[in-house]
Structure 1
Amino acid sequence: MPTRILPYFTFIIFFVFFFTFIVHGQPRCGFDHLHNQLLERSPAFRETVSQANEKIRSWIQQKQATDRLTTNGRVINGAETIYEIPVVIHVMHTGGIIGTQYNPADAQLTNMIDYLNQSFQATWAGYSSATTGGTRVPFRFVLAQRAPDCTPTTGIIRVNAGAVPDYSSFGIRSQTTTGAIEEDLKALSVWPSNQYYNIWIVNRIDGKDGYAGTVGPFVAGYAYFPGAPNRLDGTIMLASQAIAGQSTLPHEMGHAFNLYHTFRDASGSTCALNTDCSSQGDMVCDTDPVNEDAFFTCPMAASNNPCTGNPWNGQQFNFMHYTSCADQRFTPGQRDRMIAAVNTVRGGLLTSAALRPVPATQVRTAGCEPTSITFNGNGFDMGPVRIRFNTLDDSTNSYSWDFRFYEDNTCNMGTSVMEGQTYTIALSTRSNLQVAKAWIDFNNNGIFDAAEQVLYSTTPPGYTDNNYTHTASVTIPSGTVQNIPVRMRILADWINNNTILPCEGQMYGQTEDYSVTVLPAGTLPVRIYDERISWQNGSVLFAFKSGEEKDIMKYELQRSDISGKIFSGIKELYPAIPFALVHEYFVTDDQPTADAGWYRIVATGKDGKKYYSRILGKPAANESLSGSPVIWPNPTRGGIYITLPLPSGLSAYIAITDTQGRLVWSGNRATGSPITIQG
């Protein structure tokens, strides 16, 4: 028999954020007690937390070893980087009309998301900006455009939850036994947490709604760390807090991306240990140790932190405490930890297609799928926990987390490959000896033939580590269906079930489907990458590289205001000739408007298809691309603009040669302005 791993979701911990409008009601959080209890009772959870913290620490250390660092050791994520997070809001009302207090209107919720983005960007009025003590966190939360079933969505889902026992009168329970069971409520509406970040708006928590007249402390919302079961993962918050200016949502999003409370390991007026800031307290080295009682009222700037004896220096404004201060902010260290988290333990959100319109061609319905599992509800932690194939990289949970033996991820999760090329497929499993298999329906007949199997692997005998990655090389055969998505099926189960076929039921594990698009040999997918943005002599300069662009008709620089909702074209440019595997382009917004907030490149193919770059934030006035000379356009048919990273006023000798090494122009020019050379 396989080894039973105690499923930690039985004791899953949540982060609870208390707010109060009663002056004498000091909020409290039960996280420390429950979290420590869970660590003691569940070795699996303890291992998961340890691995996540190590991944985050390692990711940051790797970045510190590269040139993507500023002089103070922080990971560079300025205006040139943005992480877009697909969001879906589930409004769990009880029958009230839209616009009433427990069923807030769409406009109120979109304003809440705008506020969330401005909180992370350090641009919300009343909060410290990036130049006055705040920290820009390069996340952009966007309501989803496509649902898991590949239908259009606004990203706001409304569900009448009045039939859930005790919900109408008491809401959901968290710290008491009063109210609906959380899992019963969420079961009415939950989307895959590896593709969307779920937010549930509820009427009450533990019987309190947080509106005027609420007596004493109340729970305003709570969130889970990455790795919680899909049926739980996300944020719950009161409808009373779902408005712009209420800091509940920014706080909970901090938890969503692995931020602890700043008073972690402290209790009451007792201060936490801080001899090793990377492993104690909140594991962030630029947040001072504090205690829970420090912010009954907002400390004066001249007062001292009782845990350090030093002035607060803005620490009293941190989102991750229960601060009563009007100002709110994250620190650079908290920013780095969140960036590391989205890159290591929530990476599926970055590769999800949930922010794109519904595709014209969808994956064919599977000819068969598993319909049963032998040991229903088992806790043996079997099934795929991560799949990597070309650009696809999805971290998931095993069967034991959600008791779902089959998952169809084909709408939002997939990759493109080229005929004749070889790729590595890597499928990771956790506990017990397991068999891992994968198939790609290359002929798109809806059936996984034996010749279409691309992975067969078993955990080595005697392997005792908690993780194993099964790998194989996959060469894309000729004669396959091309240019439309086909189905890839992966599975993992107990090693004794090593004869399992793609349509058969599991014993203990899980089966998952993804999409793969095969492209003709010699035709790489359009790829826009290495996007950068800076100020150049009063203009916004957007630089990018494009790979295999022979089927591109034109590029367009687009701009939007700070909301990022509507983009409009401001300048077009055309592919360089001759075509090459890689070209670098520079395009300017010569008249940037005061409200300009975001930029992107849209490539239009000869077939009319659109390809999008990352969305970059408007740069600060003193930001430049790098410490290297910038030359654009290159190649050119006429004028060349050269920007040198030298102090203004210095003279530089410039020599320009063509691709054959022949001197085209040379001479001295003063720096500080573009140099135009005609000829």
Structure 2
Amino acid sequence: MKKLILTASLFTQFCVAQQSNVKYINSCATSVRMENIYVQYPYLKTEARAFNLKLSDLTKSGKISTSKNQIYEIPVVVHIISDGSNLGSPGNRTDQQVIEWINYTNEVFAGTAPGILGEADGGTVIPVKLVLAKIAPNCTPTNGVTRTNLSSNNQYLQYGVNSATGYNGVHESMITQLSRWDPTKYYNIYIVNKLATGTFLASGYASFAGTIPMFDDSFLIGNVCSTGQATMAHEFGHALGLWHTQEGSNGSACPPNADCTLDGDMVCDTDPMSDLLGSLCTTGTVNSCTGNIFNGVEQNIMAYTGCNRNRFTVGQKNRAIAQLLQYRSNLLNSPVLLTQPLQNNFNLTPTCIPTYMSGSAGDHHSGITMVKFGNINNYTETYNLSNAQFYADYSSNYCLGTAFTSIPLNAPTELSVTVGYNYHHIVKAYIDYNNNGIFEENTEMVFSQTNIPGSTTVTAIVTPPLGALLNTALRMRVIGDYDLPGMTYSACSAPVFGQVEDYAVTIGSNLSTQNDSVSSVQIYTDSDKNIVIKSPQEKINSVILYDYSGRILKKYDNINKKEFIFSTSYINQNSLIIAVENSQGDAVSKKLHID
């Protein structure tokens, strides 16, 4: 696996000084950033529009609601990008300051921070809690805070970070390459000395849920990263899909509001308003967009306003949680908040391993984003320059997800795979049923589908054959790649622009722990090289002989006996797998070598 690591000394080569005029407006640049992302990746805007239409229908039908008691914990890591100033200053916050700041942000969401309205006071609780990660990507304990020193970088010292190219400052992608944890497991927050999007100087920005993971983070300047500042709650509100309450306003002009579920901020209990940044507090005055006295929208945490921001609304909560459940189940299922790391350490039979990518490197955003199979529930990042990983063996030395499952023999288990964001994909999956280290295309390929649109989840039903080796960790391989015309993909092909992932699967019989009807079955050869099968309890229903490649050599049905003997003289094989099923449908298999 390749990972691009830049040191601070090499970093300056990416920071070419270019003269640009910057407007010093200390506000949020999320809207500007999202506009730029949607221009670069228009399909993301199409997907967002589709979700908003669905959410609009649910809102209008009254079917959208949230649980009052559910609190959703979000694992976060805070990256301090130090400018070398004194520890504790805005350019170099201490770990303790960060911890207190995150705690304060959670109090804002809960409506318990000083001056913030709770449900009893006309506000609304946003039921999320930011929790600093306890497990680092290398499986060691962490306090969820990292520190990178850029005090030797003049571009950073003078201009800070810019999310757009061609401007003074360090581009945000260079910051994330220096310090970034897997965004499918952690929500990354960056504290920097200065921040801009193009010519727009900002105190912070974030990206909406559903954005490509490489953009899924928040950047804030150190001045607003302290207790008493609600800026992080504002930015994470964006990460939960909340727009500014003045969204659609152009200066003093009012935003459209023909359909409050789709216009403006798409929330119906926040009145439309114009941009009030830089104005005096307008509480008690007439809202020019409604003709009525301002009713609290001018004090909303998502507003541009001259008032103290002190509240969320029920409509904002409903939209935020809908977005969270739709797009951030990866974070809700992340194991990095556990006190002890998960263990995935299986010694699987060696097989072919992709050692290179046949296509060119780049931000392809293709491959696999999720695999679910039995207990396996693993979210991963697609291939891109910040995550140049085209092959991963998650069965070994992996602690950031569950990469092992046990499935029943001769019974169905659903396999779900979600593909990357760009282009149509092909997905293939294999299980090495006989554990010989070779994925047989005819007998061990459990799933194959082509022409899969980006971001789509596909499913298959996997039923292991009776000849599968039982109670042994077997390798499962999942492939997600561009569906290129004329391209043939096999289990051992080098990925073109996608990814290959390996997992561990154990196959057990359909038996309950109380049923020992097959555990007592005896399978052996006698002195005449006949195969003898004895079942002391249930009668034998069928016997299947496989070679080690999984090919069926012989099948006997409707035996209806407790003892079955047959000759192997007609079989030109020394090594066999014998699968036995009894009259209750329980099964057992055994490897047998005939001398």
Indicate whether the TM-score tops 0.5: yes
User: Is 2:184 aligned against 1:194?
Assistant: yes
SS for the counterpart of 1:321 is coil
Question: Which of 314, 318, 326 matches 2:300?
Answer: 318
CA distance in 1, matches of 2:60, 2:391: 35
2:219 corresponds in structure 1 to: 236
Change (3 A) 1:45 1:99: same
Change (3 A) 1:468 1:318: closer
Shift of 1:487: 6.8
Change (3 A) 1:275 1:182: same
1:438 corresponds in structure 2 to: 429
User: Is 2:407 aligned against 1:423?
Assistant: no
User: Is 2:358 aligned against 1:370?
Assistant: no
Q: Contact 1:347/1:393 (CA < 8 Å) preserved in 2?
A: no
CA distance in 2, matches of 1:348, 1:506: 25
Deviations 1:72-94 (A, max 9, x none): xx61321x211110000111113
The amino acid of 1:287's aligned partner reads: T
Q: Contact 1:274/1:280 (CA < 8 Å) preserved in 2?
A: yes
User: Is 2:423 aligned against 1:456?
Assistant: no
SS for the counterpart of 1:86 is strand
> How do 1:353-392 and structure 2 match up within 5 A?
353-359=335-341, 361-364=343-346, 369-377=353-361, 382-390=366-374
1:305 corresponds in structure 2 to: 287
The amino acid of 1:435's aligned partner reads: I
Deviations 1:31-90 (A, max 9, x none): 65665566466432332322443465567679x54xxxxxxxx61321x21111000011
1:46 corresponds in structure 2 to: 45
Question: Which of 113, 120, 125 matches 1:136?
Answer: 125
Shift of 1:123: 0.8
CA distance in 1, matches of 2:232, 2:512: 44
Q: Contact 1:374/1:508 (CA < 8 Å) preserved in 2?
A: yes
> How do 1:144-543 and structure 2 match up within 5 A?
144-164=133-153, 166-174=155-163, 177-206=167-196, 218-293=201-276, 296-300=279-283, 302-359=284-341, 361-364=343-346, 369-377=353-361, 382-390=366-374, 398-399=382-383, 404-406=388-390, 408=392, 410-414=398-402, 417-420=405-408, 422-429=412-419, 432-439=423-430, 449-450=439-440, 453=444, 455-459=446-450, 468-475=456-463, 479-481=470-472, 489-495=477-483, 496-501=486-491, 504-512=493-501
Deviations 1:610-652 (A, max 9, x none): xxxxxxxxxxxxxxxxxxxxxxxxxxxxxxxxxxxxxxxxxxx
1:110 corresponds in structure 2 to: 99
Q: How many residues align?
A: 475
Deviations 1:139-187 (A, max 9, x none): 1110111112222211111122335561133211247822111111111
SS for the counterpart of 2:214 is coil
Q: Contact 2:33/2:205 (CA < 8 Å) preserved in 1?
A: no
Q: Contact 1:229/1:401 (CA < 8 Å) preserved in 2?
A: no
The amino acid of 2:427's aligned partner reads: A
CA distance in 2, matches of 1:322, 1:132: 22
Shift of 1:277: 1.0
Change (3 A) 1:357 1:478: farther
SS for the counterpart of 1:250 is helix
CA distance in 1, matches of 2:210, 2:504: 23
The amino acid of 1:117's aligned partner reads: N
Q: Contact 2:378/2:402 (CA < 8 Å) preserved in 1?
A: no
Identity among equivalent pairs (%):
31
CA distance in 1, matches of 2:338, 2:57: 32
Change (3 A) 1:83 1:508: same
Q: Contact 2:378/2:403 (CA < 8 Å) preserved in 1?
A: no
Q: Contact 1:271/1:290 (CA < 8 Å) preserved in 2?
A: yes
> How do 1:518-667 and structure 2 match up within 5 A?
none
Change (3 A) 1:170 1:37: closer
Shift of 1:500: 2.9
1:91 corresponds in structure 2 to: 80
Gaps of 5+ in 2: 1-23, 514-595
Q: Contact 1:226/1:233 (CA < 8 Å) preserved in 2?
A: yes
Q: Contact 2:276/2:306 (CA < 8 Å) preserved in 1?
A: no
Change (3 A) 1:305 1:27: farther
Shift of 1:392: 5.4
Q: Contact 2:431/2:446 (CA < 8 Å) preserved in 1?
A: no
The amino acid of 2:101's aligned partner reads: M
The amino acid of 1:91's aligned partner reads: I
2:565 corresponds in structure 1 to: none
Shift of 1:361: 3.3
| Aligned-residue RMSD, C-alpha | 3.7
CA distance in 2, matches of 1:391, 1:58: 34
The amino acid of 2:449's aligned partner reads: T
CA distance in 2, matches of 1:58, 1:454: 41
The alignment's TM-score, normalised by the length of structure 1, stands at 0.62
Gaps of 5+ in 1: 1-24, 66-73, 208-215, 525-679
Change (3 A) 1:52 1:433: same
The amino acid of 1:456's aligned partner reads: F
CA distance in 2, matches of 1:365, 1:241: 49
CA distance in 2, matches of 1:107, 1:202: 17
Change (3 A) 1:124 1:519: farther
Q: Contact 2:377/2:403 (CA < 8 Å) preserved in 1?
A: no
SS for the counterpart of 1:258 is coil
CA distance in 2, matches of 1:102, 1:519: 57
CA distance in 1, matches of 2:210, 2:80: 23
SS for the counterpart of 1:459 is strand
CA distance in 2, matches of 1:372, 1:512: 14
SS for the counterpart of 2:108 is helix
Greater Rg over alpha carbons, structure: 2
Shift of 1:332: 0.8
Change (3 A) 1:294 1:359: closer
Shift of 1:438: 2.7
1:607 corresponds in structure 2 to: none
The alignment's TM-score, normalised by the length of structure 2, stands at 0.70
